[in-house]
């Protein structure tokens, strides 16, 4: 007899300092390649608390995805230094959860929140070897311009939530804000 096992999607919620230990566990369990693609540099195992705090408390906002109380994903946006109105978006997903749409879901939430906070443009800094992220950005922000800086590609795109209407984007941002207030 064949059985189909239903696996629920990870829950996504606002992140905070209380997530430091679980985020450290997730990052420690990542492959070297996944760590490099997210940070473009060596990251200690476990990561330094200063790095974790910047991820959990950026100048914008951050979220974690959890499955069975374990962090399996992180997304954030932060104001780009020297570029008014530009929010840098980033995400990292645990290796077993990659290529299932979680990163896109988390980035859509981050994008909606950044727009609600006044972002007019997005910045994505991606390794030129990260084919999956490059395809995702080119598919969802096709009007993005690209600059190369060594092995990094910097995508600049008008701020919009991919495949979402403006009202859906505002609703996503409002939902994430009200959920954060309920957790606090």
* For the chain, domain boundaries: 12-183
pLDDT at 1: 44
| Under-50 pLDDT residues of the chain | 1, 164-170, 172-173, 176-184
Q: Which CATH topology does 12-183 take?
A: Aminopeptidase (3.40.630)
Distance CA 140, CA 183 (A): 31
| 87, two tokens | 């929010």
pTM of the model: 0.84
pLDDT at 164: 46
pLDDT at 6: 64
8 Å CB contact between 61 and 177: no
């Amino acid at each position: 007899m064949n059985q189909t096992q239903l696996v629920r999607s990870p829950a996504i919620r606002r992140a905070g300092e209380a997530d430091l230990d679980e985020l450290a566990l997730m990052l420690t369990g990542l492959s070297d390649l996944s760590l490099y693609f997210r940070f473009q540099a060596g990251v200690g195992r476990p990561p330094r608390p200063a790095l974790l705090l910047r991820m959990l408390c950026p100048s914008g906002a951050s979220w974690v995805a959890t499955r069975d109380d374990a962090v399996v994903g992180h997304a954030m946006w932060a104001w780009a230094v020297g570029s008014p109105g530009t929010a840098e978006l980033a995400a990292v997903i645990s290796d077993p959860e990659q290529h299932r749409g979680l990163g896109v879901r988390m980035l859509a939430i981050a994008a909606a929140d950044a727009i609600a906070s006044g972002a007019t443009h997005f910045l994505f800094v991606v390794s030129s070897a990260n084919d999956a992220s490059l395809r995702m950005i080119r598919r969802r922000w096709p009007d993005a311009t690209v600059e190369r800086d060594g092995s990094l590609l910097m995508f600049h795109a008008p701020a919009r939530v991919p495949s979402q209407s403006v009202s859906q984007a505002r609703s996503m941002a409002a939902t994430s804000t009200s959920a954060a207030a309920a957790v606090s």
